[in-house]
Amino acid sequence: MEPFEAIVDEHGVVVMRVCRALLGPDDAQDAWSETFLAALRAYPDLRPDSNVRGWLVTIAHRKAVDQIRKMARAPRSSNELPELGTQDDRAEPDRELRAALDALPTKQRGAVIYRYLADLPYSEVGVLLDSSEVAARRSAADGIATLRKTYRKGTE
């Protein structure tokens, strides 16, 4: 079994991108830490033939869902919302893409993130979204089609 350090080295970036896409830059760090801590805990029992990236993204998905639920229960007051145009611009050059992603229906958004950011096969995307493989493929295609309309470059 590989040292866990090697797992973080190899997959840390992908998990971070998934967390940022799902949650935004601030909450992504918490989700990333929670994901790898949970993964570290379970790692010795991971079956040797497992798809490690899929396993990690599955944990990240659950952690993100937990975090979104937590935020929904305890909404931030308006003066705690991140101010636009300050720190966020530096932290996130992909603001427009995020806005377009955030506007997608939940399944389409998940399908696009897990297929194209995490590079998971549709069979695994389907498991994460409680969908069939066929439905996951359709959600991803619909998501991209919507992004084509909503995410434009050079908008003036």
47 touching another protein, by CB under 8 A? no
CB 112 within 8 A of CB 150: no
Instruction: Rounding to the nearest 10 degrees, give the CA dihedral for residues 37, 42, 44, 48.
Output: -110
Stretch touching another protein by CB under 8 A, among 21-29, 75-83, 103-111, 124-132: 21-29
Instruction: Rounding to the nearest 10 degrees, give the CA dihedral for residues 109, 112, 117, 123.
Output: 120
Integer CA distances (angstroms), 117 to 14, 35, 93, 121, in order: 7, 17, 16, 11
10 touching another protein, by CB under 8 A? no
Which residues, 129 to 148, sit near another protein by CB under 8 A? 144-145, 147-148
Q: Which of 40, 71, 103, 134 binds another protein (CB under 8 A)?
A: 40
For another protein, the binding residues (CB under 8 A) are: 1-6, 8, 12-13, 16-18, 20-21, 28-29, 32-33, 36-37, 40-41, 43-44, 92, 94, 97-98, 112, 116-117, 119, 144-145, 147-149, 151-156
